[in-house]
Structures are given as C-alpha cells and as structure tokens.
C-alpha cells in the first residue's frame, strides 16, 4: 500500500489575468509543498481562467499563457502539480500540464470537447488523441483527464484505469446550476468504481460573466465511496491522504468481463511518497450538503460579487420598489459586497402606495444601506405634457405605464454615471420569459442578479434569507405582486398565479416542449397558447438585457438561442 497526500486547489481565477492567476497557483503550490503533499491539483485552464472564449484566438494570448505556465513550472518542487493551460502543438489544446522539480514533465490534451449549452470548445480547441501515458507520482501511477472526459463511461478514465492507472485526477471548469452537485456525485462515483481507482475531482470556483462555478471538489475511493469534499462557492485548498492499494486483481476478476488494456508508458515525475503508510493521516475535508435555496442563494452572491469586483466597480445602486424582487436583489448585494457598497433608491410615482414606500425604506434600514428618494412625478408629468399633442385621440395604455419605468431607468443610470455605481436590475426569469419588462426602463443596468430565477424561487429564497436574519419586511412577502404603474394594479390581473405560470414556462423554456406537448401533458390549452406567444414575441427584449447569474440548466442567453425572426409558431 502507498499513501499519497493530495492537495485539492479550488481557485477563483480571473479570465485573462495570466500573471495574477499564476501567482495564485504558485502560492497554493507552496502551501501544498509545506503541507507535505505529493500532488497538488488545480482547475481546468487555471492559467487563463475558464472560459477564455475568443481570447484564445489571439496568438499573443496563447504565448503569454505558455510563459505564465513556465513560471508555475519553475516554482514547482517535490510536490507535483497538475495545472490547466492552453497547449500549442500545430493545433490548440485544452490541456493539463504535469509539473515538478522546476519543469513541465508532460502534458495531457482534453479528448471530449463539449459543444452544447454554454460550451463551444470545438470553436477553439482540437481534441486530444487518446490516452498516451501515465505519470508516476509518489510511487503511484496517475492518469490525468479534463472535465467532460469524465462524463463518458468508456472515455479516458476507463481507458487509463484499464491501462494501469491507480489514481486519475480530473480538473474542471464545470458551471453551476441547481442540483448539479447531485449529478456530479453520481457520475464520479460510478467512474471510480467502474475503473477501480481513486478519482480526484477539482473544480473552479467563482463568477465569470453569467456563469458561476461552484467548486465542490471531491475525492472518491475505488469502490465509489466519496472520501473527501470541498465547500461550494468557496476558494481554498483541501488536503487528503489516499491509501493506494493494488487493484489489478479486481480488474482481472471483473464480472462484467472487462479486459485490461496494454499498460501505458509511465513517466517518472517524483520518487517515493513523502508519508509512510503508518504516519499520521491528514483529516480529509468533508463539506456539508446545502439545501436548494442555500445553493441558489450562494450562486447569486458569488456571481454578483465577482461581476462587480472583477469589473472594477466600487458600489452598486438598486431601485427599491418595496416589492419582493428588488428586496431579494438588495439582500444578495449586501451579502456579496457589504452594506457600505450598496445604495437603494425609491422612485415613487402617482401610483406608488404608501406601504410600498414604507417597505422599501424599512428594507434599507434593516440592511444598513444608503437610501434616498427621488420622486419621478415631475418628469412623468413633463413627458406626458410633451407627448400630449402626439397622443390626441388615443386612450391611455401601456405607453404611459412604460414611461414611468423608463424615467426610473434614467434616474438610476444618471446616478451610475455621476457616482460610478453599477446598476443592478431586479427582473426575474418569469417576467423576462413573458416579456413583462420595459426596454430601456427596468431592464437598464449592468447586471441582472435574478435574471435566471423564477418568481416562485424568488419567494423561496426570500423566506430562506429571512430565516438567517429577518432583513426583508414581512409585508413584502405577503402582499400581492404589483408593478404599481396604474391604479390598483396586480400581476395576477394579466398573468396566472406564478405557481401556475412557472411550471409551464419551465417546460417550454428549459425542456423545449411545444405548445401541443404542453397541452397533451395536461396544461390548460388557452393558457398555454397565450403564454407561448408571449415568450416567443419577447425574444427581442431578452437579447437587449444585461447578463445575470445562471442557476438553471437553460438560462436565457448562451443556453437558449432562439431566432428573433422566427416563423415557427
């Protein structure tokens, strides 16, 4: 039996900041060296940050990435490091470099390139040509794989296991969506058990535009048991000792009749392990499982914090209506940035109710944020007067309602320009789906925090947040949702209850069901036809909205690419 000490280095890189990323990697590699580790595992494309997108098309960027990798390799010592990078060899490859004793000892090229959902790796990279070698690290035969490689039952992990690997590391840039952790655990446990080897999975953490990477790195034993796990949404390093025993007998006697492949060549990287099998063991990290609300809320906080900080904004400003959406956005912003960096603005009109204004002010007080009131009635009256001659003979309609929203957008953008604050918009996925938003009004801003959160989930998140500390006034949770753009307006006057609406939207948007399929599934036909039409005609609006945190398997934007000009009804 050989005991191998492994460091799981779950980092939050900044895409394109090659020097800062390399410095972060070197710091953690030094920490792993001091902890007596034999192997430190970093994330997919850790040098560049993931995903680098069209930066990859710049030859200078690729060259600078290789120079940054050289710095990391030069800093390596007895503790070997597996580091994600771009490799150039006629083609470009999504690669993992194995470094030790001041040099790169070998490179693995990702084989299975995802080209679906938010992924388009075939635009940038060539696929690797199969397993070509293993690496001997601390006396253990180690295979390397990258992200999507793990999802194929007959892919690189199975190949490397059959060819003699005792441990496979899998480095990842795997974006978060709700319940993703459960899917990963099931898949990784199966890969480890099928290949009869230890499996180390290390995932990136942090926000990158609309994507959030949740970390949650894990280690699995050859029988499929999870023996270590890192927290979600937190940067850090975890150390685990693995007792590696010979596994060839199990492979030879596999009842499924799997045959061992010819052994792969094994490159010597480091010698004997640094810890004898009878020495003290490192206590493996074992993170607590989060509830669905904890997960989604954590993703919103990390996504908001990193979008604001990585883009160099000091503060944010939010229009506070006294409603549930702006309340949860404000709570997320405070948890992400701290109350001193969050500013709330109430912008009452002639239709704003006293209880909404009171709730907005009370929310700001509970959160401890700056709060100001900018009435929009003077601008509203002035615009109505300016347009009166053009509107003669036409009754009031959505035009007058939308004017109010657009005035509020102007106020928030003026504060943004003057103060340097980023505007956080407050629209949710349910409203965006059916077009219940005003272009250049409530869609105006820099980041849409709850863009991918349904209205029913907004309520769940708000209740969960109040269980931690009651920051959202009770009246916000109990009053009927309303835009307050006309007298006595309520959302349920033009939309079904959100408990009815959201399942239809989820089936149509995320599951790609047609209207006929929805009706066949038991949804009301008249309602389905109306909602489907609303979703379809609002596509042009969604194309003009700011990015927001992705928390579902199919968010508007990169996930769902429906043509605006579209004759399929």
Q: Which of 24, 110, 451, 455 is catalytic?
A: 110
Contact call for residues 221 and 192 (beta carbons, < 8 A): yes
Active-site residue identified among 24, 37, 147, 166: 147
Active site residue 79: no
Mean pLDDT of the region 482-509: 81
Give tens-digit pLDDT for 536-548.
999 999 999 999 9
User: Taking 60 as the threshold, does the pLDDT of residue 498 lie above it?
Assistant: yes
Instruction: Give 143-200 as a 3 state SS string.
Output: EEEEHHHHHCCCCHHHHHHHCCCCEEEEEECCECCCCHHHHHHHHHHHHHHHHCCEEE
pLDDT category, 249, cuts 50, 70, 90? very low
Per-residue confidence (pLDDT) for residue 566, from 0 to 100: 84
pLDDT in the model for residue 127: 94
290 is catalytic: no
d(CA 229, CA 218): 4
pLDDT band at 411 (very low <50, low <70, confident <90, very high): very high
Confidence of residue 248 (pLDDT cuts 50, 70, 90): low
Each residue's pLDDT tens digit, 263-300: 888 989 998 887 755 567 888 889 999 999 999 999 99
**pLDDT bracket for residue 256 (50, 70, 90):** low
- The pTM score is 0.93
Query: What confidence score (pLDDT) does residue 483 get?
Result: 63
For residues 471 and 328, give the distance between their C-alpha atoms in angstroms, rounded to a whole number.
9
pLDDT at 259 over 70: no
Q: How far, in Å, CA of 210 to CA of 300, rounded?
A: 10
Sole residue written with tokens 């194309």: 543
Measure the CA–CA gap between 561 and 557, rounded to whole angstroms.
6
**Residue 74 CA neighbour count, 13 Å, CB half:** 8
- Whether residue 213 contacts residue 264, with contact meaning beta carbons closer than 8 Å, is answered with no
- Closest by Cα among 13, 140, 163 to 80: 140
Closest CA to 156 of 99, 205, 197: 197
Instruction: Please give the pLDDT value at position 484.
Output: 60
Residues 510/496, Cβ–Cβ less than 8 Å: no
Q: Per-residue pLDDT tens for 352-369?
A: 777 788 999 999 999 999
The domain ranges of the chain are 2-268, 292-491
pLDDT higher than 60, residue 191: yes
Q: What average pLDDT does the segment 199-220 reach?
A: 97
Range 448-458 average pLDDT: 97
Kind and range of the H or E run holding 365: helix 354-367
Which of 9, 33, 37, 44 is the catalytic position?
44
The stretch 556-565 carries a mean pLDDT of: 86
Q: Residue 233 corresponds to which tokens in the numbers above?
A: 């949404």
Supply the mean pLDDT for the chain.
92
Longest dimension (CA), the chain: 91
Strand 134-137 and strand 266-268: the pairing is parallel
**Spelled out in words, what is the top-level CATH class assigned to the domain 2-268?**
alpha beta
- The whole-angstrom separation of Cα 284 and Cα 240 is 5
- Based on the residue annotation, tell me whether 147 is a catalytic residue of this protein: yes
Residue 198 has pLDDT above 50, yes or no: yes
Q: Is the pLDDT of residue 474 over 90?
A: yes
Is it the case that residue 260 has pLDDT exceeding 60? no
Task: Indicate if the pLDDT at residue 181 is higher than 60.
Answer: yes
pLDDT band at 486 (very low <50, low <70, confident <90, very high): low
For range 470-496, the mean pLDDT? 78
Contact present, 332 and 365 (Cβ < 8 Å): no
Residue 255's SS3 state is coil
Q: 481 pLDDT exceeds 80? A: no
Take residue 387 and report the two structure tokens written for it.
């347009």
Q: Which homologous superfamily is 292-491 in?
A: HUPs (3.40.50.620)
């Amino acid at each position: 039996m050989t005991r191998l000490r492994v460091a799981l280095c779950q980092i939050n890189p900044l895409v394109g900041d090659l020097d800062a990323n390399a410095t972060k990697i070197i710091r953690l590699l030094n920490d792993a060296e001091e902890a007596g580790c034999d192997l430190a595992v970093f994330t997919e494309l850790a040098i560049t940050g993931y995903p680098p997108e069209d930066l990859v098309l710049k030859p200078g960027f690729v060259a600078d990435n290789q120079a940054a990798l050289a710095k990391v390799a030069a800093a390596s010592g007895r503790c070997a490091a597996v580091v994600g990078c771009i490799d150039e060899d006629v083609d470009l490859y999504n690669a993992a470099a194995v470094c030790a004793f001041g040099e790169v000892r070998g490179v693995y090229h990702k084989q299975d390139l995802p080209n679906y959902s938010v992924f388009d790796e075939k635009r940038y990279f060539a696929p690797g040509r199969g397993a070509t070698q293993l690496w001997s690290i601390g006396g253990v035969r180690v295979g390397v794989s990258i992200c999507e490689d793990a999802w194929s039952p007959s892919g690189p992990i199975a190949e490397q296991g059959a060819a003699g690997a005792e441990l496979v590391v899998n480095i990842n840039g795997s974006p978060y969506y709700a319940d993703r952790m459960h899917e990963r655990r099931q898949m990784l446990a199966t890969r480890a058990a099928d290949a009869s080897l230890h499996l180390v999975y290390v995932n990136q953490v942090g926000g990158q535009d609309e994507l959030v990477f949740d970390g949650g790195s894990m280690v699995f034993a050859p029988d499929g048991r999870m023996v270590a796990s890192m927290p979600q949404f937190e940067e850090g390093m975890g150390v685990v000792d693995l007792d590696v025993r010979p596994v060839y007998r199990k492979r030879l006697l596999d009842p499924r009749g799997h045959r061992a492949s010819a052994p792969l060549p094994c490159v010597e990287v480091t010698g004997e392990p640094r810890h004898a099998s009878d020495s003290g063991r490192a206590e493996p990290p074992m993170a607590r499982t989060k509830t669905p609300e904890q997960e989604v809320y954590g993703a919103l906080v990390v996504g908001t914090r990193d979008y604001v900080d990585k883009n160099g904004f000091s503060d944010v400003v939010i229009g506070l209506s006294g409603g549930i959406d702006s309340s949860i956005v404000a709570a997320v912003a405070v948890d992400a940035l701290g109350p001193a960096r969050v500013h709330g603005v109430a912008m009452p009109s002639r239709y704003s109710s006293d209880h909404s204004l009171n709730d907005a002010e009370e929310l700001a007080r509970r959160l401890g944020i700056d709060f100001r009131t900018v009435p929009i009635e003077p601008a509203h009256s002035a615009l109505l007067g300016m347009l009166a001659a053009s509107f003669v003979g036409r009754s009031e309609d959505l035009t007058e309602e939308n004017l109010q929203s657009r005035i509020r957008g102007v106020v928030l953008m003026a504060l943004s320009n003057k103060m340097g604050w980023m505007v956080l918009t407050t629209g949710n996925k349910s409203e965006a789906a059916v077009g219940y938003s005003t272009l250049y009004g409530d869609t105006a801003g820099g980041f849409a925090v709850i863009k991918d959160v349904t209205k029913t989930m907004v309520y769940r998140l708000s209740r969960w947040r109040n269980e931690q500390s009651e920051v959202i006034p009770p009246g916000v949770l109990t009053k009927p949702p309303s835009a307050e753009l006309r007298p006595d307006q309520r959302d349920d006057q033009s939309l079904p209850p959100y408990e009815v609406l959201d399942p239809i939207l989820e089936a149509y948007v995320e599951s790609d069901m047609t209207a006929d399929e929805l009706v066949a599934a038991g949804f009301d036909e008249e309602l389905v036809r109306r909602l489907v039409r609303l979703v379809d005609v609002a596509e042009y609006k969604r194309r003009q909205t700011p990015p927001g945190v992705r928390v579902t398997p199919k968010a508007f934007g990169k996930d769902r690419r429906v043509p605006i000009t579209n004759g399929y009804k």
